[in-house]
Structure 1
Amino acid sequence: SGLKMLRAATLALTLASAGAFAPARAQLARTSTSLALSHGALPLLPARLPKLSHRARGVYNTAELVEPIGEPAPPTAFQTFSNVFSTLFPLWTLLVALFGVFKPATLAAIPTSTFTGLLGILMLSMGITLTVDDFKRVLLRPGVMVVGFLGCYVMMPLLALGLSNLLGLSPALTAGMVLVGSINGGQASNLCTYIARGDVALSVMMTTVTTIGAIFMTPLIAKVLLGALVPVDALGVAISTIQVVLLPIVVGMLTNAKFPSTVKAIEPFSPIVGVLATCILVGSAVAQCSAPILAAGGTLQVAAALLHIIGGAVAYLGLKQLYGEQTCRTVAIETSMKSSAFGFLLAKLHFADFLVRVPAAVSVVWMALVGSSLAVVFRFLPAPKDE
């Protein structure tokens, strides 16, 4: 049953958190900011990306994400709290999701305008970490960027459609699954990549590229794959994507360019704000669909879990002969983790059938659980540097 699976997920995540999220290092002070852009969402990326060297062997040196000046100062009490609080984000996510399922009244009352505003704030937070130079770095690794983009917008939508048909989901639930599969990567993947000892710089840029790509890919895929199943407002999906994704990123980049001191001042608070915003988004999405989630039973839970598990596994195994271990880990996590909160918003705004939004609400939980568990597994495996 769905309840048993949720209880099992709680136990699994607790064990995963105990192993993976050991005492936070000072280096995590920057990387943990990426958590804030949640599931989605749409989290906060590392506070400020330093210039990364592109070496002859073709990889970024992730150790250079932090630029030490002399002996690094010990973290303050606030930094330690922020790091630990941010690092445990999958646990907070699952707890608030369970609260939303069984005590939905409070969280379900959050209006759509507030939900949209929180997503916009998270995207703005990502925008203030980006510069034009960051996009230029994408050109240094075009091959792996293309592979990640195809995994996000070709493999995952088709996998969602195949799983839905195999498990006999209704047309509305199938539409919701495909919508989850066709949205951008979840920005919490940046933190999971760090935990997994992957290539954090590559993760950040892949998340950015798929997020920008959602502006045209998500409405296109929704129209092509879902047009025969349910009515699709492709234009509305495109407009909402521009409003929630593109505009906040542009405003954030302009803010970073014109007011760098302001960005630096708010940087220490962004991880905590991002975690809290993400928890509100997750809890609200789950609470609004609590009855259908329980009614759907284990079938929808299995479909959502397999979407994220198989997506990550195929990406990792499929690239083993082409790229090094760090790159394979990074692409696997990027492919597995989707911006499910954004998918929920699109389903709520542009699909008349209420059930279309239910898979996104379920995916919010499984995305965090699978992504963090994948990071735990990778962390305890050898991680040779890419050649």
Structure 2
Amino acid sequence: MFSMGITLTLDDFKRVFLKPRVIGLGFFACYVLMPALAFVIGNALGLSGPLLAGLILVGSINGGQASNLCAYIARGDVALSVLMTTATTVGCIFMTPLICKLALGAVVDVDAMGMAISTIQVVLVPVVLGLTLNKYVPKFCRSVEPFSPVVGVTATIILVGGAVANCAAGILGAGMTLQLAAFMLHLIGGLAGYGIMRVFKYSETTCRTVAIETAMKSSAFGFLLASLHFPEYLVRVPSAVSVVWMAVLGSTMAVIWRFIPVPDEN
């Protein structure tokens, strides 16, 4: 989150308001479509309460930073991707705890206030710190910016590896049903994100961008929230599975679109 913060300025947040419709549709896909999909898929496949809760948690978190790189590879709109990631990242401070409390309160115990506090600590504080440094010491930020993606990716790999290793027994115990659920969530979410933008007649670059933003969630953050604020151990297992499928499907979409020319949009 800090590596994102040092690349942002107040003007970036102002630009969000210049594209309210597309940002709003992306926000809808992230915080309405994906949680609803997780709920339907989890119930359709008969996931147990804790696993269903974990899958809905995955659907309720913000878009991941890796989506920005995938949008670039897919010939999407990178600037829009960054704006959407920023909007959903800030939005998760209140949306993720709210959705989890409303959707999961009767399924498993949810510490909504604890989730909100953790989200502020993990998301808002690093972003604001990076934004502040970018404003007052921009030269320093430009000097470290080239290394930030490497640090961010390395940290994500460590978190992913730790999450999968920590949940190895739970992943094996859940079997292929959970694997199928996570796969379907990210695949159908990405296709639906693309379709929504097509319905509203947006350009191909915008459709690709929203598809990737919708499909790629910050699953490592979901694992952290599940570990801290859900007493049931199995709630964290879907995030550990999701983090792999999210990366596989997001990068696959990006590579496929890389070789499909974007129609002339002039």
- Short-chain TM bin: over 0.9
- 1:298 Cα offset (Å): 0.6
What residue number does 2:232 align with? 353
3-state SS in 2 of match to 1:185 = coil
- 1:276 Cα offset (Å): 1.4
1:363 is aligned, of 236, 239, 242, to 242
| Distance in 2 separating the partners of 1:179 and 1:203 | 22
Amino acid at match of 2:99: I
- 1:385 Cα offset (Å): 4.5
| Distance in 1 separating the partners of 2:42 and 2:162 | 25
| Distance in 1 separating the partners of 2:239 and 2:199 | 33
What residue number does 1:213 align with? 91
What residue number does 2:17 align with? 139
Matched, 1:179 2:67: no
Amino acid at match of 2:142: K
| Distance in 1 separating the partners of 2:18 and 2:216 | 24
1:255-293 CA-to-partner distances (Å, cap 9, x unmatched) read: 111111111221232222222111101001111101111
| Distance in 2 separating the partners of 1:290 and 1:129 | 36
Contact 1:326 1:384 in 2 (8 A): no
Number of residues of Structure 1 aligned to a counterpart in Structure 2: 265
Contact 2:34 2:59 in 1 (8 A): yes
| Distance in 2 separating the partners of 1:223 and 1:386 | 43
3-state SS in 2 of match to 1:183 = coil
What residue number does 1:243 align with? 121
Alpha carbon RMSD of aligned pairs, Å? 0.9
Amino acid at match of 2:194: Y
Contact 1:193 1:199 in 2 (8 A): yes
- 1:326 Cα offset (Å): 0.7
2:221 is aligned, of 339, 342, 347, to 342
- 1:386 Cα offset (Å): 3.7
1:192 is aligned, of 56, 62, 70, to 70
What residue number does 2:251 align with? 372
1:169 is aligned, of 44, 47, 64, to 47
Contact 1:186 1:338 in 2 (8 A): yes
- 1:379 Cα offset (Å): 1.4
Contact 2:7 2:145 in 1 (8 A): no
3-state SS in 2 of match to 1:198 = coil
3-state SS in 1 of match to 2:102 = helix
Contact 2:31 2:59 in 1 (8 A): yes
1:228 is aligned, of 71, 81, 106, to 106
1:204-234 CA-to-partner distances (Å, cap 9, x unmatched) read: 0000000000000000000000001001100
2:140 is aligned, of 237, 243, 262, to 262
Amino acid at match of 1:237: M
Contact 1:219 1:238 in 2 (8 A): yes
Amino acid at match of 2:213: E
What residue number does 1:331 align with? 210
Contact 2:6 2:145 in 1 (8 A): no
Deviates more, 1:159-168 or 1:270-279: 270-279
Contact 2:3 2:149 in 1 (8 A): no
Instruction: Name whichever structure is richer in helix by fraction.
Output: 2
1:168-196 CA-to-partner distances (Å, cap 9, x unmatched) read: 00000000000000000011000000100
- When the two structures are superposed, what TM-score results if normalisation uses the length of structure 2? 0.98
| Distance in 2 separating the partners of 1:236 and 1:385 | 48
What residue number does 1:295 align with? 173
What residue number does 1:72 align with? none
What residue number does 1:381 align with? 260
Amino acid at match of 2:247: A
Q: Which has the larger radius of gyration?
A: 1
Contact 1:196 1:379 in 2 (8 A): yes
3-state SS in 2 of match to 1:267 = helix
| Distance in 2 separating the partners of 1:271 and 1:179 | 26
1:10-68 CA-to-partner distances (Å, cap 9, x unmatched) read: xxxxxxxxxxxxxxxxxxxxxxxxxxxxxxxxxxxxxxxxxxxxxxxxxxxxxxxxxxx
- When the two structures are superposed, what TM-score results if normalisation uses the length of structure 1? 0.67
Give unmatched runs, 5+ long, in structure 2.
Answer: none
Amino acid at match of 1:223: K
Amino acid at match of 1:350: H
